[in-house]
Amino acid sequence: MRRWVLLSILIGLTLTSPLAADPIEPDRPDFTEGTGILPAGHVQVEGGATFARVEEDETTSLGEVLVRIPLADWLEARLGVGSYDWSREKGGGGPTANGYEDPEVGVKVHVADSSGGMPDVALLFLTTVPVGGRDLTADAWQPTVKLAVGWDLTPRFSLSSNLNYSYLAEGDERFSQVAASLSAGFSLSDRLGAFLETFGFSEETSGGPSTAYVDGGFSYAVSDDLSLDVRAGAGLNDASPDYFLGAGASIRW
């Protein structure tokens, strides 16, 4: 039941939410970050839950909370509240690891509008803050920079892509991680959208193998200020999760 507390709170907040000029555009549920900046005078909260299985290990993450606050028409502050994770071996006893992930803070800077066939472009500058649970904190600040591009090719079809660089910590070691993604978005109706995406990492642990994923899902705009989403995906190699499932909501007021 606790897994639905966050979603219930977010839905309740829409009762006092003023209508915005444009429909809500969340950065979730796909991995790829969008290029849009939240309209001035609004705050947006996105959150959800994900279940993943890797061989005999199962992990549930609850929260995934992202708070977005516009600072200018080209600049947005972002606070990612660390999820609470449970990890256990299938058929085993209690959790093998649990606790809060390190939160993340940063900004999104809109660099260029689409014109003449060129994409929308944004840069994101982020870092984790090492205050998570004992089992999950990296015990170090982990900076990331993301290049986000997006093309609205037709009124019903768009493409977006990210190229990310992170300087991560594992124990006393530091390592560089490069990630890339490509996401296709489909507007199935005025309220229903879908996406299909692939993304991957050069490595997720120090000296570990590269990983690759494919996922897809749907979003439904209940109103201009509330969107619900579901997604499912799978790993494309042995180092990736067998599958993952997720659901969430995004609210603007």
Do 197 and 183 meet the contact criterion of CB atoms below 8 Å apart?
yes
Asked, for residue 23, whether it belongs to a domain, the answer is no
- Strands (DSSP E) found in 75-142: 75-81, 84-89, 97-100, 104-112, 120-128
Residue 91's pLDDT is 62
Residue type, 150: G
pLDDT at res. 70: 97
Q: Residue 210 — φ and ψ, nearest 5°?
A: -70, 155
Supply the pLDDT for residue 89: 74
Cα gap 157→160, rounded to integer Å: 10
Residue 165 lies in a domain: yes
Domains: count for the chain: 1
Q: What is the pLDDT of residues 24-53, one digit of tens each?
A: 999 999 999 999 999 999 999 999 999 998
Residues 6 or more apart from 251 whose CB is under 8 A from it? Answer: 10, 11, 13, 14, 17, 24, 44, 45, 46, 225, 226
Domain-embedded: residue 26? no
What pLDDT does 87 receive? 87
- Establish if 27 belongs to a structural domain: no
Confirm if 195 and 184 have CB atoms less than 8 A apart. Answer: yes
Name the residue range of residue 181's domain.
Answer: 2-14+33-252
C-alpha 41/C-alpha 86 separation (Å) is 36
Identify whether the C-beta of residue 134 lies closer than 8 Å to the C-beta of residue 167. no
Residue 209 domain-assigned? Answer: yes
pLDDT of residue 18: 45
CATH code, domain carrying 135: 2.40.160.40
Average pLDDT along the chain, 253 residues, taken 10 residues at a time: 46 43 89 96 97 87 97 97 86 73 98 89 98 93 98 95 97 95 97 97 93 97 97 87 94 96
Structural contact between residues 231 and 64, judged by C-beta atoms closer than 8 angstroms: no
In a domain, residue 169? The reply is: yes
Q: Say if 125 falls within a structural domain.
A: yes
Q: Look at residue 161 in the predicted model and tell me its pLDDT.
A: 98
pTM: 0.87
